[in-house]
């Protein structure tokens, strides 16, 4: 299975979360469009169809990537 680079996932997760907050506090139609675009992209790179599922999947992938990057101690 192909996986998106962690930096791309991190950027998309942060963007979606930020846009969601802006929209919840009275964001504009432009904010809604930007959230739809970012959500679509995150869904594509995680192989999902809903934003909440995509965010959960991206967070799991990021956690896995962090564990793999940790040096192994003996």
**16-56 tens-digit pLDDT:** 999 999 999 998 999 999 999 999 999 999 999 999 999 99
Element (H, E) at 45: helix 29-46
The model carries a pTM of 0.87
pLDDT of residue 2: 72
* Structural domain spans, the chain: 6-69
pLDDT tops 70 at residue 73: no
Residue 54 · residue 46 · CB < 8 Å = yes
Q: Which of 31, 32, 35 is nearest to 15 (CA)?
A: 35
pLDDT of residue 29: 95
């Amino acid at each position: 299975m192909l996986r998106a680079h962690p930096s791309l996932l991190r950027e998309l997760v942060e963007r979606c979360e930020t846009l969601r907050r802006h929209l919840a506090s009275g964001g504009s139609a432009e904010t809604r469009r930007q959230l739809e675009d970012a959500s679509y992209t995150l869904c594509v790179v995680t192989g999902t169809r809903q934003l909440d599922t995509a965010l959960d999947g991206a967070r799991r992938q990021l956690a896995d990537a962090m564990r793999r990057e940790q040096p192994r101690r003996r």
